[in-house]
Amino acid sequence: MIFNMERKNCVFCNIEKDKIIRESENTLTIFSNPYLLEGHSLVIPKRHYEKIYEIPKLILHELIDEVQCFEEILVSRLNLSGCDIKQNYRPFLQDSKYKVSHLHFHIVPRYFEDELYKKSMINEKDVFKDMSDSLFESLMGKLK
């Protein structure tokens, strides 16, 4: 019944088999619950990783291949306008039903002016800032 027991307190290490939509050697795809929009799915590595840079490249490639494949399935079968694909690393938040510290990719189905846009993203342009030359130079100096 339970998929894996790598970490007893991790919900993604303890997924029930009947919740799995697709499975590959190193990945699982499930519906997100809770979800943002109908069809919101998660692609998860079977092994427990928290940071994207911890994952071996072979497994990371398999994760991205599954994200690409399942996005195409969602778009074609649900007649979507597109999808948002996200991966969050948020150690500054406690685990909850909205945040799990097991790396995963969100595939969020999108429609023109959908509920997510109307409730949050319509104001997204107010959050973005133009980058000044001095900030650009400062960041380049720190990251190069």
Scored b (16 or more CB within 10 A) or e, 72-87 reads: ebbbeeeebeebeeee
* Residue 20 CB neighbours (<10 A): 14
Q: Which of 36, 35, 27 is nearest to 104 (CA)?
A: 27
Taking 50 as the pLDDT cut, the residues of the chain under it are 1-2
pLDDT at residue 114 in the model: 87
pLDDT at residue 5 in the model: 57
What is the tens place of the pLDDT at every residue in 101-136?
999 999 999 998 888 888 888 888 788 889 999 999
CA angle 50, 84, 144 (to 5 degrees): 55
Residue 5 parent element (H or E): none
CA angle 5, 41, 1 (to 5 degrees): 30
pLDDT at residue 117 in the model: 87
Predicted TM-score (pTM) of the model is 0.87
pLDDT at residue 1 in the model: 41
Q: Are strands 82-86 and 41-45 parallel, antiparallel or unpaired?
A: unpaired
CA angle 48, 51, 54 (to 5 degrees): 75
